[in-house]
Structure formats: C-alpha cells, structure tokens
Amino acid sequence: MRIDVLVLGGGAAGLWCLDRLRRAGYHAILLESKALGNGQTIQSQGIIHGGGKYALRGVRDFDAVRATSSMPERWRQSLVGAIEPDLAGTEIISTKCHLWLPRGSVIAWLQSLAFMSFVANAGLLATRPVKVSKAAWPEALRDSALAVYSLAEPVIATGSFLRALAARHKEFIFLYDGAALEFAADGVRVGDVLLQPRAMVLAAGAGNGELLGKAGMNADLMQSRPLAMVLLRGELPPLFGHCIVGGKTGLTITTPVPGIWQIGGEIAERLANEKNLAAARAAALVEIRRWLPRLDLARADIAIYRAVRAEARTAASRRPSGVHANQVAPGMVVAWPTKLSMAPVLADEVCEMLQLDLKTPGGYDETPPWPTPTVARNPWEEAEWFAVN
C-alpha cells in the first residue's frame, strides 16, 4: 500500500503531526498500538505551559522559556476554532493557573520572583504573573498561602483534546498489533499488509525506543525520566496551579474532574524511585499537609500512578528544552515534544523536515480495513485507591 507518510504513535505529538501533514496535502496515516494518548499524553495534567514554570524554577534555560512563551495563545486560538487545527471540541477546565507561595518560604519566593521579573522584562514571557487579591484566592489556598499570583496558562481535559484532534482524520487513524510490525527493505509490514511510505514519523513517546530498535537504529537517542504522580479523591475544592518551594514547583495541582486532584511537580520526581507504594503515599501526604495544612483529608482517598517522560537524549541526561525532531535515516524522523504545549511546534518542524524529501504529494492506495483505536482511559479511572486515614 503506497502512502506519503506513516506516523507511528497516537498521542499529542503523533496526532498533531498527522493533522499538519494532511493539511499540507500529503496522504498520511497514523498507526496506534494501544489507545490514543496512552502513556504520556493521557497521564499529563493538561497544562498549556507558557514558560512561567521554567522561570520560577530558576532555570536559566532561556531557550526553553522562549520556545514555550507563545504556546498558550496559539492553543487558545485553536481551542476556539480561530486557527487550524480547530479544537473547539476540547474541554477547557481552567483558563489560568495560580502560583502560590506557602507560608514559611519567603526567601525562596523572593529569589524566584526576582528571576521571573528579569525574564519577563527581557521579553521572554508572553505574560507575567499577576498578583491576586486575597478575596479572589482559590478556596484551598485561603488559609495556607502567603501570596497568590495567576498565570494565563489554560488547562485542558486531555481526553477531550485527543478526541477533538483525532476526529478530524478518523478515517486515517488505525489500531494495529505492535508485535506484528516489522521494518523491511521494501517498507513496513504489519501482519499481511505491506505499507510503502515515502517517509515515516516515529512519535510514540516511550515506544520510540522499541521502534528505533526494530528499524535497526540507535535506541540510545532516547532518555526517559520516571515519575510517581499523586491522586487525591474526596471533597476537594477546584485548584489549578503551582506551589513554589525553594524556587521550584514543589507541587503542581490540577482538578481534572470535580473532587479529584492530580498532583505532579517536584514531588513526582522525588517519589519516582520509591518502590514501596505505601511509603510513596505516606511521603506524598506529608508533603501535601506541609504546604496545605488546612486541607481537610479526613474522608479522602489517595493513589499513586507511575508515569514515564520520554525525551530526546541530552548531555548528562539533563531535561531537554524545546522540541526534538531528528532525521535518523532518509525519510525517517523521530520526534519528541517534551511538553504537551509544544506539540504544534513539533508538528511544524517535522512537516518542514519531511517537505525537503517529499516535495509534492505522491500517489496512494486504499487504506486497509483496520479498526479505529479508542481514547485511553484517565489515570484516576484505573488507579488503586486507598483511604488517607
């Protein structure tokens, strides 16, 4: 079967690449081996970062800050259908995030605020934090914060985003048996079907390592950082934001559905190597109670879910900035967006790279009668919950 581009991986990166390539006129199809968004996309907190988090963490990586600064506005335009891709079907669960300084960390906040002011004045951020009057503080912060700021970074329901983006090209998105995929001299075989793409995009997140290995490429192009994300369930007020501790985002909390908190940030990285989940839950509760001491968890439940952040390998395994699209062979690109918010930039870069090889769209054949993948389930729907008390 002749096609212009084969995209492997149905998360945010793969779906946005598929959309960008098809809008450029190429006959592209996408194959997903499990469910759309499975892994990194569905496990994310849905925050469309604009660089503020990097600055507040004291990261001097200006490329990372600059690369993300325009993303919230670009996404907002897509989310209201003003630009392509039209993602008006995506649920926006918050139009902004808060930054708060918990009581007892004034010095750290002053250091972070000074750096944030420098970054904003240098023109690296599209918007800077705005101080929120105490009367307008989120309910969860009213007795626990020293100062609260807001950032114009929207938060989306990732499942609805995946459905909205996939719906644009549903007849070109297929579920396939990953174990049956083989790279061959004359194309890519999936069972009895031979695909003959002029170009390929590997956008499978953590699955890129296996795909590179099957293609005979260097799987060491990828690095992965484990996370232990925390979930709380109970009578919890809505909260979207970052708790700034020691100049870093100690806790990043979002409320994907009423009564559930999804918690990441530095806590998720610190707990990543804790193999005992009971110990991880206990440590998470200590941290949450430390910075939100007035939070009532008497009738709450807690869960931990493992996540992996797949990225392009960097020197000393540092966090990469921006996006990474590497042409590992003629007509083969492997891609990582690093952040959900960077998927549009990654798709643009992948399309530009492939256009140099593809030039104009070519001929194509009928697509095989494969099934369509569903959207992955949310982490809180699959988590094992335990009573806090």
For strands 181-184 and 187-190, give the pairing: antiparallel
Under 8 Å between Cβ of 49 and 153: yes
Residues 247, 267: one domain? yes
Say if 386 falls within a structural domain: no
Say if 387 falls within a structural domain: no
Q: Which of 248, 266, 299 is the last residue of a domain?
A: 299
User: Among 279, 272, 335, 342, which residue's Cα sits nearest to residue 307?
Assistant: 272
Rounded Cα distance between 131 and 35, Å, is: 41
Say if 230 falls within a structural domain: no
What mean pLDDT do residues 228-241 have?
97
Residues 51, 166: one domain? no
Half-sphere exposure of 18 (CA within 13 A, CB side): 31
Residues 72, 169: one domain? no
Q: 138-153: per-residue pLDDT in tens?
A: 999 998 998 898 989 9
For strands 241-245 and 92-94, give the pairing: unpaired
Say if 334 falls within a structural domain: yes
The reported pLDDT for the residue numbered 62 is: 57
Q: Is 131 exposed, middle or buried (0-12, 13-18, 19+ CB in 10 A)?
A: exposed
Q: Which residues pair with 18 in a beta bridge?
A: none
Phi-psi region of 29 (alpha: psi -120 to 50; beta: other; left: phi over 0): beta
The reported pLDDT for the residue numbered 106 is: 60
Say if 228 falls within a structural domain: no
DSSP letter, residue 70: T
Residues 31, 86: one domain? no
Rounded Cα distance between 4 and 112, Å, is: 48
What mean pLDDT do residues 223-234 have?
95
At residue 64, does pLDDT exceed 70?
no
At residue 51, does pLDDT exceed 70?
no
Residues 209, 134: one domain? no
The residue among 109 and 265 whose pLDDT is bigger is 265
The reported pLDDT for the residue numbered 142 is: 93
Residues 58, 150: one domain? yes
Under 8 Å between Cβ of 57 and 243: no
Residues 81, 129: one domain? yes
Q: 194-221: per-residue pLDDT in tens?
A: 999 999 999 999 999 999 999 998 768 8
Say if 284 falls within a structural domain: yes
User: Among 87, 88, 97, 98, which residue's Cα sits nearest to residue 47?
Assistant: 97
Instruction: Provide the token pair at 320.
Output: 């990469």
Say if 359 falls within a structural domain: yes
Query: Whole domain around residue 135: which residue ranges?
Result: 47-156+235-299
Q: Please give the model's pTM, rounded to 2 decimal places.
A: 0.92
Residues 192, 321: one domain? yes
Q: 278-301: per-residue pLDDT in tens?
A: 999 999 999 999 999 999 999 999
Q: Kindly report the length of the chain.
A: 389
For strands 301-312 and 260-264, give the pairing: unpaired
- Coil, strand or helix at 225: strand
Q: Which contiguous run of DSSP H or E holds residue 316?
A: none
Residues 144, 251: one domain? yes
What is the total count of domains within the chain? 2
Q: Which contiguous run of DSSP H or E holds residue 76?
A: helix 71-79
Residues 38, 51: one domain? no
Residues 117, 140: one domain? yes
CATH for 170: 3.50.50.60
Q: 87-137: per-residue pLDDT in tens?
A: 999 999 999 999 898 886 665 555 555 545 544 555 545 567 888 999 999
Say if 198 falls within a structural domain: yes
Residues 56, 134: one domain? yes
